[in-house]
Amino acid sequence: MGKIEGISIKNYGSLKNITLGKTRSHQANKPLSNMTTIIGPSGNGKSTIADVFGFIADCLDMDVEAACDANNRGGFEQIRSQGVEEPIMIELYYRESSNTRPITYELSIDLDKSGRPFVKEERLRQRVERRGGPKSFLHLQNGVGYAFEGSIGGQDDKTGTVDGTKVPVELSDNRKLGIVTLGAMKQYSRIERFLKFLQSWYLCYFTPDAARRIQTSAPQPYLDRIGSNLNNVAQYMYRENKAAFLKTLHDIQNKLPGIEKIEPLKMPNGQIVLQFWEKGFKEPFFSPKMSDGTLKLFAYYLLLHENNPRQLVFIEEPENGLYHHYLGDLAEEMKKNVGNGFSKQLFVTTHSPFFVNSLTSDEVWVLQKGKDGFSTAKRASEYEFVKELTSEGVFVGDLWYDKYFG
Ligand SMILES: Nc1ncnc2c1ncn2[C@@H]1O[C@H](COP(=O)(O)OP(=O)(O)OP(=O)(O)O)[C@@H](O)[C@H]1O
Ligand SMILES: [Mg+2]
């Protein structure tokens, strides 16, 4: 459980210095909503924000050097903002629940003398008492430093006072993240929970062709990035709780225009194939025969109904291939699904004013490019004209369409 209240990014592609929401260095800002939608013209850094989360996830899976090369990033020097000599720096401001104090995670990645990326600094801090200063409970520089066991305690950043069980740490590889090594050990329970939260990150870019592939029979708990394992997830949900899965299908069928019923068909090899009944036809169609838009919508709704949902989901351009009038409902469903609690958070990039019309100005971030070519980010609610016009009932998407945001 948990959510990100803010993120500051420095020197990552066009994101030379941006902050979304509340972070340790931007305490006056309002925390991010559970639904954060990023808009802006092409090339303004929307996908780069998604990639920052993807980069962190890759750093957890592999070492930072491999993460710099993975997913077409092209290596550290291609990622680092042009003309910059400083390290790439990411600050996450994360909160586990409404009654715990926020945790700051700071990560700084640089090149060593031989030009290889390494973890220059990694730090976790939490202000434990309401009035006291923040206490670091993990601090590593070039793989060397300390960590604190348990769920409380730390070293006071200002006074150096130690509270709790401080353990010296030296990593054998300075390209690996300390949170991965220490988060694997039960005694570092706070680090373990934070690591699990970060590992739940998932980027989704559904493509209907992929969803048409019927793969071999194998239940899988989660949809993959392109939605190619739709039927495997259906098989998993059917196996785990048939009644709940049938109810899910029932809920979804009411949201898909022109669809009257969706039912699973179990094949002799255990595979599940989904049958869709369309208005006007007596016989069902199997999922590979459904239209691109129907399959995509179905995949999004299934994503929102996953068992033990992933907490941190990033969706790129959900509007692609969808009829524009469906987008408002989809945005509403996404908002309803994430709610206000700490169980799920959704980031979306979009080019669709129809999608944005279902959002509040607090849920929308506008990316623009400054004169220097680097991105700037501003919450739609911070524009004076947005405050005025939305109070008169004007929608944010319509303002965007009318070029109010440039
Ligand atoms: N190392 C770098 N330094 C500075 N800018 C960079 C660097 N690498 C890439 N860029 C810029 O980042 C931009 C890529 O942005 P991104 O793909 O995030 O855009 P987007 O907002 O997702 O666009 P679209 O709407 O087309 O998907 C490019 O315009 C490129 O100029
Ligand atoms: Mg993009």
- pLDDT band of residue 321 (cuts 50, 70, 90) is confident
Ligand 1 nearest-atom number relative to CA 82? 3
Ligand with smallest separation from the Cα of 18: 1
52-103: pLDDT as tens digits: 999 999 999 999 999 999 999 999 999 999 999 999 999 999 999 999 999 9
In the block, tokens 């390494």 appear at 118
The pair of structure tokens assigned to 79 is 């990622």
92 alpha carbon – ligand 1 mean position (Å):
21
Rounded Cα distance, 94 and 21, in Å: 11
Ligand 1 pocket check for 11: Cβ under 6 Å? no
Ligand 1 pocket check for 43: Cβ under 6 Å? yes
173-226: pLDDT as tens digits: 999 999 999 999 999 999 999 999 999 899 888 887 887 777 777 899 999 989
Ligand 1 nearest-atom number relative to CA 81? 3
351 alpha carbon – ligand 2 mean position (Å):
9
The residue whose C-alpha atom lies closest to atom 18 belonging to ligand 1 is: 45
For residue 155, the cross-strand partners are 136, 162
Neighbours of 41 (CB within 10 A): 13
Give the pLDDT of residue 195.
Answer: 96
pTM of the predicted model, to two decimals?
Answer: 0.94
Rounded Cα distance, 359 and 152, in Å: 38
Q: Pick the residue with more confidence: 140 or 307? A: 140
323-371: pLDDT as tens digits: 999 999 999 999 999 999 999 999 999 999 999 999 999 999 999 999 9
Rounded Cα distance, 120 and 118, in Å: 6
315 alpha carbon – ligand 2 mean position (Å):
11
Q: Which domains does the chain have, with CATH numbers?
A: 3-200 (3.40.50.300), 203-359 (3.40.50.300)
Ligand 1 pocket check for 23: Cβ under 6 Å? no
Rounded Cα distance, 348 and 39, in Å: 9
